[in-house]
Amino acid sequence: EVHLVESGGGLVQPGGSLRLSCAASGFAFSSYWMHWVRQAPGKGLVWVSHINTVGSTTTYADSVKGRFTISRDNAQNTLYVEMNSLRAEDTAVYYCVREGVTMDYWGQGTLVTVSS
C-alpha cells in the first residue's frame, strides 16, 4: 500500500526557514515524479513544485521560485522541500503527492504556520 508521510511543519517567524520531509513507502519511489501541493486554511489547492525521478528537473510556482528548493533522496525514499524567506502567505498545509498519470496519491499533509 502506498504511504506518504510528511513531517517538519510547525510555527516559524516571517523570514525564517523550514525543511519539510516526506517519507514514501509501498511503491518504487525512484520511478515516480513527485510534487508538493499546499492548501491555506479554508482555501483551495495550489501546486508548489515538482521533481523528476532522478532530481535533475525541478519546477516551481512563481510564488515560491527562488525561495523554495525541492529535492529527493531515492536511497532513503524521501522527498524534501527547503523553504526560505518564509512569508505569512506561505501558511498552509503542505501535501506530498505522487505523480502517476497525474497526482494519484497524497500524504496527510503537514501544517506550516508563518507568524510572529
Partner 1 sequence: DIVMTQSPDSLAVSLGERATINCKSSQSVLNSSNRKNSVAWYQQRPGQPPKLLIYWASTRESGVPDRFSGSGSATDFTLTISSLQAEDVAVYYCQQYYSSPYTFGQGTKLEIK
Task: Quote the least distance from Cβ 32 to partner 1, whole Å.
Answer: 14
Per-residue CA distances from 106 to 4, 52, 53, 82 (Å): 7, 17, 17, 19
Tell me phi and psi for residue 110, to 5 degrees. -135, 135
Residue owning grid cell 510564488: 63
Cβ 28 vs Cβ 46: under 8 Å: no
Task: Quote the least distance from Cβ 22 to partner 1, whole Å.
Answer: 12
Residue among 16 and 106 whose Cβ is closer to partner 1: 106
Residue among 82 and 99 whose Cβ is closer to partner 1: 99
Cβ 14 vs Cβ 115: under 8 Å: yes
Residue among 80 and 109 whose Cβ is closer to partner 1: 109
Task: Quote the least distance from Cβ 50 to partner 1, whole Å.
Answer: 7
Task: Quote the least distance from Cβ 47 to partner 1, whole Å.
Answer: 4
Contacts of 64 (CB under 8 A, 6+ apart): 48, 49, 83, 90
Residue among 102 and 116 whose Cβ is closer to partner 1: 102
Binding site for partner 1 (CB under 8 A): 35, 44-47, 50, 59, 61-62, 95, 101-109
